[in-house]
């Protein structure tokens, strides 16, 4: 995202984040985690929390900075440039936004802000993002409930401390906030192709009390809606940062690689392709900034802006990594070169929280088509 789209405070936040991440979390850090069979770095997350990033959307009364969604997008974008893996989206964005919809959750929000508690959203059950399709059941058992069902693609679910679970009750979809190690919960961590964790979680008669219900019975989707939109906007920002990172690598290579005695970046055909990609990244950055501003200023009417941002970010990130691989030639296809990490992350992020088709349909519907 360009500096022209940012406030002075956001520019300072971006500069501080870039300096920190370039030092401690370059792409080589992701490669090291992958090679060690790890999907996250608890020490890195603790450092991020110490810098206040985990509390970016947490109210000041709960120990956060409450800087807003535009600022969260700034951080997500900087993380995307070097493919940082952390529970930022799951905990600091999605869970924090959900929890602040309900009174009396300051302790949970404080734990998110100081980095001592991480969350994952257990929502998806099928192969695609369909929030309203819920088969996981929460059946009455005395004064409480018993949860039974399976959740898939639970990002960060393999190591999170707690889970936000959407389950079907007699009153309708209801959101539960449960510890991830409660009896009857079986987690199957999966290291995805992009080296980020996404677990399959099976609930076999898991006990839940009334205190575990987030909000009221049947209100799960109402509470989740702003949280999902916050996550979609921040994920779009991360993907645009990813596109910028891949684009930067590609431009550097165009300047260095020589053919016929000249840098290949001097060839007009490659210049046109690079210029087109730069324009796409800039336009998408504008959509990302608008989505963040809408979530901060008018969240009830932010759906169009958020879906437009996620759709554009998906298309732009895909174009950036494809062009990156092609312009690097044979080396772009090798694991020894970092471009492959960008391509894998773009592919997974495209599916999380709604793919291009889901968000393009939302944009078309809201525009009356």
Residue 30 · residue 21 · CB < 8 Å = no
pLDDT for residue 262: 84
Between β-strands 172-179 and 162-169, what pairing exists: parallel, antiparallel or unpaired?
antiparallel
Q: Which residues of the chain have pLDDT under 70?
A: 1-5
State pLDDT tens for residues 69-114: 999 999 999 999 999 999 999 999 999 999 999 999 999 999 999 9
CA nearest neighbour of 132 among 227, 221, 219: 221
CA nearest neighbour of 281 among 248, 307, 254, 326: 248
Structural element, H or E, at residue 154: strand 144-155
CATH 1.20.140.10 location in the chain = 221-366
For residue 204, the SS3 value is strand
Distances (CA, A) of 213 to 103, 104, 216, 241: 12, 12, 7, 36
Which DSSP symbol is given to 94?
Answer: I
pLDDT for residue 6: 79
Sign of CA dihedral 75, 81, 84, 87: positive
Which CATH code of 3.30.413.10, 1.10.10.10, 2.60.40.10, 1.20.140.10 fits the domain covering 221-366? Answer: 1.20.140.10
The hierarchical CATH code for the domain 3-118 is: 1.10.540.10
CA nearest neighbour of 230 among 334, 305, 328, 140: 305
What is the CATH T-level fold of the domain 120-220, as seen in this structure? Answer: Butyryl-CoA Dehydrogenase, subunit A; domain 2 (2.40.110)
pTM confidence score = 0.95
pLDDT for residue 260: 82
pLDDT for residue 328: 82
pLDDT for residue 165: 98
Strand partners, 197: 191
Which DSSP symbol is given to 67?
Answer: -
CATH 2.40.110.10 location in the chain = 120-220
């Amino acid at each position: 995202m360009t500096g022209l789209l940012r406030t002075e405070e956001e520019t300072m936040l971006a500069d501080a984040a870039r300096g920190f991440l370039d030092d401690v979390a370059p792409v080589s850090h992701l490669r090291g985690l992958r090679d060690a069979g790890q999907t996250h770095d608890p020490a890195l997350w603790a450092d991020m929390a110490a810098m206040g990033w985990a509390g970016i959307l947490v109210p000041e009364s709960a120990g956060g900075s409450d800087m807003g969604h535009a600022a969260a997008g700034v951080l997500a974008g900087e993380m995307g440039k070097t493919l940082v893996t952390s529970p930022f989206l799951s905990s600091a964005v999605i869970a924090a936004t959900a929890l602040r919809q309900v009174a009396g959750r300051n302790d949970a929000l404080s734990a998110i802000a100081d980095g001592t508690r991480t969350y994952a959203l257990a929502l998806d059950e099928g192969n695609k993002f369909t929030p309203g399709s819920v088969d996981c059941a929460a059946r009455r058992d005395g004064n409480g409930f018993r949860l039974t069902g399976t959740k898939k693609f639970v990002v960060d679910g393999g190591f999170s401390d707690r889970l936000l679970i959407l389950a079907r009750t007699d009153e309708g979809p209801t959101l539960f906030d449960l510890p991830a190690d409660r009896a009857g919960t079986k987690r199957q961590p999966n290291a995805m192709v992009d080296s980020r964790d996404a677990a399959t979680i099976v609930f076999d008669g898991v006990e839940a009390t009334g205190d575990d219900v987030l909000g009221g019975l049947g209100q799960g989707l109402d509470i989740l809606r702003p949280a999902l939109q916050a996550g979609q906007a921040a994920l779009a920002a991360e993907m645009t940062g990813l596109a910028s990172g891949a684009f930067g690598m590609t431009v550097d290579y165009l300047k260095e690689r020589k053919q016929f005695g000249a840098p290949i970046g001097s060839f007009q055909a490659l210049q046109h392709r690079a210029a087109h990609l730069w324009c796409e990244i800039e336009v998408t950055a504008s959509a990302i900034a608008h989505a963040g501003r809408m979530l901060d200023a008018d969240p009830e009417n932010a759906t169009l802006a958020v879906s437009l941002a996620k759709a554009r970010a998906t298309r732009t990130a895909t174009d950036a990594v494809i062009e990156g691989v092609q312009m690097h030639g044979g080396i772009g296809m090798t694991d020894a070169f970092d471009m492959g990490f960008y391509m894998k992350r773009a592919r997974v992020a495209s599916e999380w929280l709604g793919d291009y088709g889901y968000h393009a349909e939302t944009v078309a519907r809201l525009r009356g088509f």
